[in-house]
Amino acid sequence: MPATALTARALLLDMDGTLVNSDAVVERCWRRWALRNGLDPEEALKVVHGRQGYATMAVLLPERPMEQNYADNKVMLAEETADTDGVVPIGGAPAFMDAIAALPHALVTSADLALATARMGAAGLRMPDLRVTAESVGASKPDPEGFLKGAAALGFAPEDCVVFEDSEAGIAAGRAAGMRVLGVGPRAGAHSPDAHVADLTQLRVEAAADGAITLHVQAR
């Protein structure tokens, strides 16, 4: 049975699918890309979540030179940054971000800074002071680099951090970093996170004077 409470000293937050619902934009852009490259859009959409674009392209077109994936990724990022139609906060995200404002936390996202800024802004969410974006890492999730960098920047050991994630790649990255994972949304439930919520309205944050943070999962 998944845990109904997790205790941490720092929180590492994915963005897409975790704080921001950007599925409409992601699906529009990736459907176009899949069709341009002779791929089945439905099959492509099964692997796009959680990774940087170039890494997704490498999974879908394993024989293609990485230079072409990097070039396509730049185009994809520009398209996604310009398209914020339908970008909304995940349920409970505004109140959750308010609740953790004074607690150690960082954004760890596969988006670059421009895309992260556009989507957090479109969703009306506060951008954390500390963020690990695509420019900050050499490897995409499921590699743990981003979460390890986030923990180090906050000054906490991996075992003191809880990762918030929605995707298979993100959950794998959190686990590889030696952190516990709170899964958010329907995609996360299939990958056995340490605790799981349908959205952030199911979460209550309790902060103790000694710096301990308890994340209580509320039953519906």
- What is the Cα–Cα distance from 48 to 167, expressed in whole angstroms? 9
Catalytic residue positions, numbered: 14, 16
**Adjacent-strand bridge partners of 5:** 216
> How many other C-beta atoms can be found within 10 angstroms of the C-beta atom of residue 68?
12
CA torsion sign, 164 to 165 to 166 to 172? negative
Q: Which of 182, 199, 205, 17 is nearest to 91 (CA)?
A: 199
Cis amide bond preceding 62, omega within 30 = no
Only one residue has tokens 């960082």, namely 106
Only one residue has tokens 């971000």, namely 97
